[in-house]
Structure 1
């Protein structure tokens, strides 16, 4: 028994903790930074003020994780973010294809707990900063509501990934809140006061069919949405969760200090919506539905943005400007919302896409005036307009991974964050990032420690592509314009043949297109058009564009919509090959073509996007020349399709596809690093949406590795991950490594983006 007499004053239990890097905020940015830093060998303290990790992705908010892939609704091919954020999304798709947010919580927590270098403090809020000088943080004070303990957390480096920037705010870091004028950064899209300067918060709800009638009595505070919400007719009984992202409020309030007020207003809306659905009589299909869950805390979009040594702005995104210190990329649209949110008569968002991804500079990821403070998540150094594209979670997590590797270099060289840029250490940071799986547009991995760079690489076979397998082909009506993307080398574009069926005599209109912005995937430049008469019935049609291109790149063989025609599609799928369609995807304001407002500086262009599997078959084109997927791609420094597939692909007829690496002298090999194709075109939305498969169809599931004596030194069954990092118990001394793989399926040949070996 414990018994205490009355005392004048008592102190909380106190603990002191130290680490190499203290990360404040356990949303996706904090999680990705913590895991990446821990794998770099840093001791990390991760402080999260909620009981779960994941922030807006967690079961407390339930927003899907998205980034440059944008629901497959833009022209950013193969743009899903790499590294830890990719690892989490791939794992979630495998273990949680139903999109259950509680299972996602478990997966994220499991990933963090697997890292011995991370100390996790949940339910712990930072409330005070201790500074050693005006421009340097010494420690932070935090309080855990669940164990009534006060922590004093010290570290040489800190990262603010808290969303509202509590650490940066208390430390005195320079920040902004609201929209800049159009003149400050020459941003034609900067909003005026009628539109508003901030994006609001959202709350979601989930429903459940109980199988029997359910009555609902609304609370007294429920709002009459028919009288107060201009878009009330957009509500329906079928949609719940983050599909109701537009139920938004608070953009004209203080989105930090008025959060509780904003939450209450959103609760009024949500319970009013459910009252409308259940009791208006307009939704008989909802008779058996009940409210299963309503959010308790709002998902925040925007509050403080902190100033780094560079502020990313609209033209950086639209023009896809090149930055020497690029460490990450984004590709979400510039997605701004009216400040009045659900109470506005305006469109709930304005999404303007770019012709490709944009680079994020390292100088945006640290404070310009607090020298040991990194920035991660939605608070990084961007203008309000650029924030419209950088604020989404996959982009936030991706940039946070760069912070983690930068922190490791800072400690290794005894530098502060800004010194990595000022002292010319950025090339090393970029190379370390690419090693971890980070793709940085325009950069190649030049890894002098990689033994594969000095090896002879031979394959049991190389795919010599001359056309898609026509066995079991499908004829599909040309209801929307369709195109096949083909990776071709400089020279004459291959002549192709395609099986076409006409219901009646008509004209097949075809075009050869490329992107005017080299390396992007918007087919906005037409090189040649053909019009070919087609008689009724099935015929093979020859497409000879008689065109020479001067660079290796993807070309688009486009077919204009024609309901009188059917085209043949193949069930074969090949790494780096995809068909695209000029359809619509209203989820991301894609109506087939982006018509830019006058004076906005945004481009007008067509959207040509893939279909989600099980659709999205390749057009069954047959070519007169070979497209080769050879072993040179294994060490070219790029681990996804760009201007070419960048992968070795085996011949599907090869019964035992294998890659052999040989050296003239014996090598001591301790670590082997393989990169497989987990389809970086697939968005892998983390919650609510389901996915057609748990493992991407291109991913090699089973393989083993032999040394020069035929000893099996490693075997893997059931792989589904992008990166396989193999650390052997003891180094193997060998003049050869042989990687023997199984084809993923009868319709998909084995492929590998990269093999790297280290002593």
Structure 2
């Protein structure tokens, strides 16, 4: 029993914590920064003001997490983010391919709790801070309403991943709100004069079919005249959640301090939309539907952006500029919305894509005037226009992994964030990021002397000599143009023989294209065009022969242009690094199969060539002569663990009953860790919620593998793998002059490996 006598005053319970890194904000950015840092030995305190992690990706908001893949609706092939956020995406698809947001919450909590170096404070809001001089933070103060406890958290390093930037704001870090004028960064898409209008907030809702009639009485505050909303005709039954991204409001308000007012307006709209669905009489199919869930907090898009030593701008994205301090990448369109949101007569968004992915420099990820403050998530140093691309969650998370790794280097070497810009330190950061699975396009580093695999002699049981794909009996119409994206070697382009069916004699145009920029997958350069005669009849073997001699190894697009009366035979085969495409538009991220921006906006015009999602996306049935030899063990010496510029993959022959890779050294090596990168289809967008994915494990991934030493002893084995990056820690160490990786079974495609690193 507690019996407390009256007192003039009492103090809240207080807990003081010392850490290496304090992160405020537990969205995907803060979560991935914390996990990355903790795995490098950093003691992290992660302060999150909500009951779950994930921010806009959590069950409280339920926005699907996306990044450079853009729903597979742009030309950024194999561009899903790497590292921790990819580990989370792959695991979520494995466990939760239906996209249940509650299961995604649980996965994020599990990942954080698995790290002993993370102290997680949920339901804890930062309320103040102390500084150690004008340019340095000493302690942050936070309050947990659930346990009525104050926390004072001190550390040499801080990271603001809070979305609104409360740490940077209270610490006096330089920031911006609103759009810069076009002249400041020479951005044609920016306004002539700067303004404070922003992207607004959104609240989502879900309906559910109960199987029996359900009435609905709207609350008094629900919007009555939904047809006054300019885009009310986009309302559909059974299209809920993120499909209502355009129910947006608040762009003309203070998106930080007026968030509660914005929320009430969004509730008014959302409950009004449901009233319209149930009671307008225009949706009789909604009779048995009930309102299952509606968001209680809005998903925010824009507020503060903090100034680093560099600010990204429009041309960095559109022209895909290279940076010596590149630590991450992006690829979402520059995506800006009208300030009036749902009440605007304009289109709900204006999206313009670049021709490929772009680098993001480290100098955008710390404050230029608070010396021990990292910034990440949507707070990074970017203009309003560039922010239109960098703000999406998978990009934010990928950036945050760079911050987490940078914090480890700062802790080990007693440095401030800006100190890592020094070239030798930057290369150290980039190398450690790459080893952790971070994809950094166009990054060239000196040879990694610590990776023993680089000095090994490689061999394999077989190598894919790609000679074609057998027909399945299915076919696809050439009513729209289709293409085969294929990695080939320098030299004469091989001849391809397709199986075609036509109702009448036709002339089929076939174009051989490449991307004008290495690493891009926008087929904007036509090398050769041939005309092929197609007779009336079924299953004709139709050979396409090119005269082009290719100067370099790389990807080509064999484009079968639209010919409506012709059917193309398909295959059920899968093969790493080879992809079928269609010249089409994904309506979620583009209005047309050709991007045609308004004149003077600074964007390129180009065609979209997109994959169809499985189970639809099928390779064409064809034969290739001579066969393509782009999948040998030499590909494993690449800097990339995905197709980029080349296939970067060893692929076993489809006829090999027991594929394996061998590594041999002249002298025995003591091996304590082996990292294997399998193919988990980096083109698949893997939306985190509200999306039913066609499979839980990617068909290209090796399911069962064994690692053997020179004597044939099994030193590691997994029989049900679905992950892309597999880290095998051999705690006692294995001394051997050889390793063999046996690929016993895959999830469907021939065995393939992107990288094998040995330490």
Summarize the Cα distance change of 1:191–1:207 in structure 2 as closer, same or farther, 3 Å threshold. farther
CA distance in 2, matches of 1:235, 1:272: 12
User: Aligned partners of 1:428, 1:419: CA distance in 2, in Å?
Assistant: 12
Residue 21 of structure 1 corresponds to which residue in structure 2? Answer: 21
* Farther off after superposition, 254-263 or 710-719: 710-719
Match of 1:686 among 673, 688, 691: 688
How far apart are 1:615 and its partner, in Å?
Answer: 1.4
Equivalent position SS for 1:400: helix
TM superposition score normalised by structure 1? 0.98
Question: How far apart are 1:600 and its partner, in Å?
Answer: 0.6
Moved more, 625-634 or 722-731: 625-634
Partner residue in 1 for 2:296? 296
Matched, 1:562 2:563: yes
Output aligned runs, 1:233-252, within 5 Å.
233-252=233-252
Q: Which residue of 1 aligns with 2:81?
A: 81
Per-residue deviation at 1:196?
A: 6.7
- Tell me: CA distance 1:603–1:579, structure 2 relative to 1, closer, same or farther (3 Å): same
Residue 651 of structure 2 is matched in structure 1 by 649
Equivalents in 1 of 2:508, 2:330: separation in Å?
38
Per-residue CA distance 1:319-378 (angstroms, 9 max, x = gap):
000011000000000000000000000000000000000110000000000000001100
Give the Cα separation in 1 of the matches to 2:336 and 2:193: 13
Unmatched tracts of structure 1, length 5 or more: none
Q: Is the 8 A contact 2:660 2:742 kept in 1?
A: yes
Q: How does 1:541-556 map to 2 (within 5 A)?
A: 541-556=542-557
CA drift at 1:478 = 1.1
Q: Which moved more, 1:566-575 or 1:206-215?
A: 566-575
Q: Distance in 1 between matches of 2:267 and 2:372?
A: 40
Which stretch of structure 1 is more off in the superposition, 652-661 or 60-69?
652-661
Q: Which of 729-738 and 203-212 deviates more?
A: 729-738
What's the CA shift string for 1:117-164, capped at 9, x where partnerless? 100000001111100010000010000010000000000000000000
| 2:597 matches 1:584 | no
Q: Assess if the C-alpha contact under 8 Å between 1:23 and 1:160 holds in 2.
A: yes
- Whether contact under 8 Å (1:657, 1:743) holds in the other structure is no
- SS state of the match for residue 679, structure 2? coil
Deviates more, 1:520-529 or 1:326-335: 520-529
Residue 503 of structure 2 is aligned to residue 503 of structure 1: yes
Query: Which residue of 714, 717, 720 corresponds with 1:718?
Result: 720
Cα distance, 1:193 vs. partner?
7.8
After superposition, the Cα gap between the structure-2 partners of 1:625 and 1:227, relative to the gap in structure 1 and judged at 3 Å, is: closer
* Counterpart contact for 2:311–2:383, Cα < 8 Å: yes
Matched position secondary structure for 1:618 = coil
Q: How far apart, CA to CA, are the structure 1 residues paired with 2:376 and 2:441?
A: 20
Out of 566-575 and 131-140, give the one that drifted further: 566-575
Question: Which runs of structure 2 are paired with 1:370-381 in the superposition (5 Å)?
Answer: 370-381=370-381
Alignment of 1:203-222 (within 5 A): 203-222=203-222
Query: Residues of 2 paired with 1:276 and 1:195: CA distance?
Result: 35
1:603 lines up with 2:604 in the alignment: yes
Residue 636 of structure 1 is matched in structure 2 by 638
- Partner SS state of residue 236, structure 1: coil
1:154 maps to 2:154: yes
Q: Secondary structure at the match of 1:570?
A: coil
Change (3 A) 1:379 1:676: same
More displaced 10-residue stretch of structure 1: 264-273 or 636-645: 636-645
Aligned to 1:200: 200
Deviations 1:200-235 (A, max 9, x none): 000000111011100001111111243531111211
> What is the match of residue 406 of structure 2?
406
Report the Cα offset of residue 473 of structure 1. Answer: 4.3
CA contact (8 A) 2:181 2:193 kept: no
Q: Does the 8 Å CA contact 1:73/1:590 hold for their aligned counterparts?
A: no
Note closer, same or farther for the CA distance 1:33–1:682 as it changes in structure 2 (3 Å cut): same
Deviations 1:513-540 (A, max 9, x none): 1111222000111111112221101321
Give the Å deviation of 1:238. 1.9
Instruction: Tell me the equivalent position of 1:348.
Output: 348
Aligned ranges 1:129-148 → 2 under 5 Å: 129-148=129-148
TM-fit CA distance, 1:423: 6.0
Change (3 A) 1:605 1:471: closer
RMSD over aligned Cα atoms: 1.3
Q: Cα distance 1:152–1:334, how it changes in 2: closer, same or farther (>3 A)? A: same
Distance 2:514 2:193 in 1: 40
Q: Name 1:663's counterpart in structure 2.
A: 665
User: In the alignment, is residue 286 of structure 1 matched against residue 286 of structure 2?
Assistant: yes
> For the Cα contact (< 8 Å) 2:204–2:245, is it kept in 1?
yes
Q: What's 1:593 paired with?
A: 594
Q: Deviations over 1:61-85 (max 9, x none)?
A: 0000100000010000000000000
The 5-angstrom pairing of residues 445-464 of structure 1 reads 446-464=447-465
**Which residue in the other structure is 1:612 paired with?**
613
CA contact (8 A) 1:463 1:652 kept: yes
Deviates more, 1:560-569 or 1:205-214: 560-569
Give distance in 1, aligned partners of 2:423 and 2:727: 31
Contact 1:444 1:638 survives alignment (8 Å): no
Distance of 2:472 and 2:423 partners within structure 1: 59
TM-score, structure 2 as length reference: 0.98
- Aligned equivalent of 1:305: 305
In the alignment, which residue of structure 1 is the partner of 2:231? Answer: 231
Would you say the 8 A contact 1:511–1:559 is kept in 2?
yes
Spell out the pairing of 1:316-327 with structure 2 (5 A cutoff). Answer: 316-327=316-327
SS in 1 for 2:138: strand
Distance 1:18-1:127 versus aligned 2 partners, 3 A rule: same
Distance 1:698 1:372, change over 3 A: same
Change in 2 beyond 3 A, CA 1:695/1:195: farther
| Secondary structure in structure 1 of the residue aligned to 2:686 | coil
SS of the aligned residue for 2:459 comes to strand
Q: Equivalent residue of 1:659, what SS?
A: strand
Does the residue aligned with 2:692 lie in a helix, a strand or coil?
coil
Task: Give SS of 1:545's match.
Answer: coil
Distance 2:444 2:394 in 1: 22
Matches within 5 A, 1:478-517: 478-517=478-517
SS in 2 for 1:701: strand
Instruction: Tell me the residue number matched to 1:625.
Output: 626
The question of 1:59 aligning with 2:59 is answered: yes
C-alpha distance in structure 2 between counterparts of 1:518 and 1:738, whole Å: 33
CA distance in 2, matches of 1:199, 1:688: 23
The alpha carbon displacement at 1:197 in A equals 2.5
Structure 2 unaligned runs (5+)?
Answer: none
Taking the TM superposition and a 5 Å limit, the aligned residue runs for 1:700-715 are: 700-715=702-717
Aligned to 1:331: 331
Pair 1:384-2:384 in alignment: yes
Deviation at 1:621, TM superposition (A): 2.8
Q: Does the CA-based 8 Å contact 1:364-1:381 persist in structure 2?
A: yes
Q: Which moved more, 1:34-43 or 1:228-237?
A: 228-237
Do the aligned residues in 2 keep the contact of 1:191 with 1:197 (CA within 8 Å)? no
Cα deviation, 1:560-581, whole Å, max 9, x if unaligned, reads: 1122101122211110100110
Of 405-414 and 392-401, deviating more is: 405-414
Shifted more, 303-312 versus 183-192: the winner is: 183-192
The answer to whether the aligner puts 1:10 opposite 2:10 as a matched pair is: yes
1:579 alignment partner, SS class? strand
Task: Look up the match of 1:755.
Answer: 756
